[in-house]
Structure 1
Amino acid sequence: MGEQICATKSIALLSSHREEGEETKQLQIHDALSLQEEQLKFTETFQLSLSVMKRILLVFILAAAVMYGILHGNLWRNNFYWISFYGQTSSVRASTSYVTSGITITYDELPPTAVERRNALDTCLLKPAFESLLGVDKIYPFLCANDFIRVAQFQGSNKFELPYGIKRAEQFFRLALSRLQNCGLSSEEDSIACRRCVVVGNGGVLRNKTLGEKIDSYDVIIRMNNGPVIGYEEDVGRRTTFRLSYPESIFSDPIHYDPNTTVVLIVFKPRDLKWLWEILGGQKISAKGFWKKPALNMIYKSSQIRILDPSITRKTAYEWLHFPTRFPKKEKPKHPTTGLIAITLAFHICHEVHLAGFKYDFTDRNSSLHYYGNETMSQMMQNEYHNITAEQKFLKKLIDKNFVVNLT
C-alpha cells in the first residue's frame, strides 16, 4: 500500500514537472516571438528612417544642383553670353575662343583691376531687359594706362585696327593715356546703384520741345560733339555728365567749359591720339591728317578726359548695325554715328536709358538737321560715311521692344 502511494506521488510530481516544463517552453517561445517581432519592428523603423533620410539627402542634392545652376548661370550671363537682338540664341562662350567678324578671338585672363572696374558697373539689383537681349556684358567703357593692353587682348581689340581696336596703334594709345590722370567714371556716378540715363542727340526735333528741365533730372546726361547747351537750356537742359567728341568736334571756346563734364574721346585714327598727347603736353598742334581743323587748345583739364574703349565702337558697327569688315573698293567704308556710339556707351554704364533728339524728318530736305545752327537734312542725306537708314531701323527696334524710352 505504501509503495502504491509513493508511486502515485512520483507520477504526480513527474506530471507537475512536465507541466512546468511545457509552461517554460511556451514562455521561451513567446519571448522568442516577442523578440523577433521587436526586431522586425526595429528593422522596419530603421528602413523607413533610412528611406526618409535618403529622400531628404536627395532633396538637398537637387537643391544644391539648382543653386549651382542659378549662380553659374548668372555668372555666365553677366560675363560671356550673347543673346541676339534679333531673337536667335547662340552658344555660350564656354570655350577659350570664339569667332566674330571672321576673326578668331582668344580669351586671356582679365586683369584684377579691370574686373573691379567692370563689377563696379553692375550694382543694380534690378537687371534691365536690354542687358540680356542686347548682349551687354558690362564692358568697362574707358581705357586705363596700366592695363589697356591686357584688356584689349581679353576683348579681342588687339585683332582690329582703329577705330575698332588698338592693333598697330598701341604706342599711340600708351602715349595718350600717359597724359590722363584718371580713367574712372566719377565718384558721383560710382555712388549711384541704378543709373537713369538720357542720351541727348543733336536733332532738330528738340527745337521748342521744352525738355530742358526733364533732361536735367536724370542721373547721367550724355551729349555729343559740339551740341551746345548755352542759349538752348529750355529745350536741352544745362547739365552734361559725359560728352563724346573727336578732335574735330571738341569745344575749344572757354565759354562752353563745364567743370562737371567728362569728355570722352572717340579715337578714329592714330592721329587723334597723337593730337591728344600733343595738346595736353602744350606742344604745337599740326592740323594735317584731320577731315577738318581740330581744336588747337584744350579747355578741359586732363582729369576730365577719358578715351573710349574701341570695343564699344566695334560692337556698335559689327554686332548691332552688321557692317561688313571690308567694303567694296568703289564704296566708302561706313562707320557708326557719334549718337549711336553714345547709346552703346549708355547701355554699358546705365540701368535705364532714355533718348532725346534722335528723330529726323527724311521727307523734308529743308527741315532742320540740328536744334542749333542752320544746317538742313540735305547735308545728312549727302553723307557717305554713315548709314543713317540702318541706324534709324535699329533705333526703331530698340524703341518698339521697350529697351529705351524715346522722349521725342
Structure 2
Amino acid sequence: MKRIILAILLAAGVMYVVLLCNLWRTSNYWFPPTDADRKGQLIGCTFKAAISSLIKGDNFYPFLCINNFIKVSWDHGSHKLDLPYGIRGAERYFHLALSRLKNCDLFTEDDGPSCKKCVVVGNGGILRNKSLGETIDSYDVVIRMNNGPVLGYEEDVGRKTTFRLFYPESVFPDTIHYDPNTTAVLVVFKTPDLKWLWDLLSGQHLIRTNAFWKKPATQMIYKANQIRILDPTIIKKTAYEFLHLPTALSKHEKPKHPTTGLIAIAFAFHICSEVHLAGFKYNFEDRNSSLHYYGDDTMSLMIQSEYHDISAEQRFLKELVDRSIVVNLTEE
C-alpha cells in the first residue's frame, strides 16, 4: 500500500513539473514579446522623486500575462503564497481566466506620453459638492474603483475613467455604466473570483455564488479586450510594506486586507510619474456622515469593518500627503 501511495505522489509531482515546464516554455521574457515596448515605457519614465523612494525602484509590469505569469510569479515570490497575495494552488484558474483575455497591454500607442500625471478617485462622501469634475478629467490618467458611478455625478467626479479596479462583488451589473475607454482591472482575492471571470467570458451560467460575500454580477459589461488581472504582488506590497499589516496571525485572528482604494494608489505608483488623490478623506467622528459620494451608506459601515484596517490606511494616506508623495485634492 505504501508503494502505491508513493507511486501516486511521484506521478502527481511529475505532472505538476510538466505543467510548469509547458507554461514556462513561452515565458522567456519578463514582459511578453507583444508588450516589449511597454517595458521601455515604464522604465524610461522619470518618476517623481518621492514616489521613487517609496517604491524603491521596484518598477514592474502591473498586469499578469498568459504567456509568462508563472515565471513572473516565481520571480516575485508569488508562487509561495496563497491568494490574495500569491497564486499558489490557483495556478490553473489563473491560466483559465487569462486565456479568455485578449491582451495584457498597459497603454496603447495612442495614449500619449509614457510619463503620465494620474489622479486616483476614491468613493468618499467628501467629493460631494466639490465640483472637481473638470479638474479630474484634465489628468492624463483617471483611476477609479469598484462601482463608484460617473453617470449622474459628473460635476463632482468627472466623466473620464482610464482604469477601474474591481472584484466580482463590486463590478457594475448594469450596462448603463459601460465605458468603451475604460480598462477594467480585476483584483483577485479568492479562487472563485477567477472562476467567475472565466464563467462570464465563456458564456457560462453562474450556478454557485455562495463563495461571495454578496451576489456578484451575472454579466460582464466590459469586453474581453478591456479586462486585465492585477499582479498580486501589488496587493502584497500594499498590505505589508505600505500598511504594515501582520504577516502571521493567531488562530483566533481574522486577516485584514487593503481596500481597493489603497490598492489603486499602489497601482498608480507603479505606472504614473505623479499621483494626486481625490475622495479619500473620511469623517470618523460622525458615524452618520456620508460614506460615499453616492447612495445613503454612512460611516458606521466603514467603522464596523472587520476586513480592513481603516486606521492604518488613514495613517498611510496622511504620511503620503505630509511627505509630498501625493497631492490630496479634497484635503480640508
TM-score for the superposition, normalised by structure 1: 0.71
CA-CA distance at 1:324 after TM superposition: 1.5
The aligned counterpart of 2:177 is 256
CA-CA distance at 1:189 after TM superposition: 7.0
Say if 2:322 is the partner of 1:405: no
CA-CA distance at 1:276 after TM superposition: 0.5
The aligned counterpart of 1:174 is 95
The aligned counterpart of 2:254 is 332
Whole-Å separation in 2 of the counterparts to 1:156 and 1:274? 23
Give 1 or 2: higher helix fraction.
1
Pairwise mapping of residues 368-379 of structure 1 onto structure 2 (< 5 A)? 368-379=290-301
Whole-Å separation in 2 of the counterparts to 1:146 and 1:396? 39
What letter is aligned with 2:174?
A: D
Whole-Å separation in 1 of the counterparts to 2:263 and 2:312? 14
Of 137, 142, 145, the match for 1:221: 142
Of 282, 289, 308, the match for 1:367: 289
Whole-Å separation in 1 of the counterparts to 2:57 and 2:155? 33
1:309-359 residue CA offsets vs partner (Å, 9 max, x unmatched): 000000000111111122222221100000000000000000000000000
What letter is aligned with 1:394?
A: F
The aligned counterpart of 2:309 is 387
Q: Percent identity?
A: 66
The aligned counterpart of 2:163 is 242
Of 187, 193, 208, the match for 1:272: 193
Say if 2:209 is the partner of 1:292: no
Say if 2:112 is the partner of 1:112: no
Pairwise mapping of residues 6-405 of structure 1 onto structure 2 (< 5 A)? 111-114=28-31, 116=36, 117-125=38-46, 127-187=48-108, 191-286=112-207, 287-405=209-327
The aligned counterpart of 1:44 is none
The aligned counterpart of 1:85 is none
CA-CA distance at 1:112 after TM superposition: 2.5
Whole-Å separation in 1 of the counterparts to 2:231 and 2:55? 18
Verify the 8 A CA contact 2:45 2:114 in the aligned structure 1: yes
Whole-Å separation in 1 of the counterparts to 2:45 and 2:244? 30
Whole-Å separation in 1 of the counterparts to 2:153 and 2:135? 14
What letter is aligned with 1:359?
A: K
Verify the 8 A CA contact 1:230 1:256 in the aligned structure 2: yes
CA-CA distance at 1:185 after TM superposition: 1.1
When residues 176 and 198 of structure 1 are mapped into structure 2, their CA distance, relative to the original with a 3 A threshold, is same
Verify the 8 A CA contact 2:256 2:308 in the aligned structure 1: yes
When residues 135 and 111 of structure 1 are mapped into structure 2, their CA distance, relative to the original with a 3 A threshold, is farther
Verify the 8 A CA contact 2:50 2:323 in the aligned structure 1: no
CA-CA distance at 1:141 after TM superposition: 0.5
Verify the 8 A CA contact 1:266 1:307 in the aligned structure 2: yes
Greater mean deviation of Cα atoms: 177-186 or 115-124: 115-124
Q: How well do the aligned residues superpose, as a CA RMSD in angstroms?
A: 1.5
Where does the alignment leave 5 or more consecutive residues of structure 2 unmatched? 1-26
When residues 143 and 248 of structure 1 are mapped into structure 2, their CA distance, relative to the original with a 3 A threshold, is same
CA-CA distance at 1:215 after TM superposition: 0.1
Verify the 8 A CA contact 2:144 2:164 in the aligned structure 1: yes
2:44 counterpart SS class: coil
Verify the 8 A CA contact 1:128 1:352 in the aligned structure 2: no
Whole-Å separation in 1 of the counterparts to 2:157 and 2:260? 18
What letter is aligned with 1:320?
A: F
What letter is aligned with 1:156?
A: G
When residues 157 and 112 of structure 1 are mapped into structure 2, their CA distance, relative to the original with a 3 A threshold, is same
The aligned counterpart of 1:35 is none
CA-CA distance at 1:367 after TM superposition: 0.4
Whole-Å separation in 1 of the counterparts to 2:110 and 2:118? 11
What letter is aligned with 1:112?
A: Y
Whole-Å separation in 1 of the counterparts to 2:47 and 2:307? 38
Query: How many residues are matched?
Result: 299
Whole-Å separation in 2 of the counterparts to 1:180 and 1:147? 14
1:353 counterpart SS class: strand
Whole-Å separation in 2 of the counterparts to 1:189 and 1:356? 26
CA-CA distance at 1:119 after TM superposition: 3.1
CA-CA distance at 1:213 after TM superposition: 0.1
When residues 362 and 402 of structure 1 are mapped into structure 2, their CA distance, relative to the original with a 3 A threshold, is same
TM-score for the superposition, normalised by structure 2: 0.87
1:122 counterpart SS class: helix
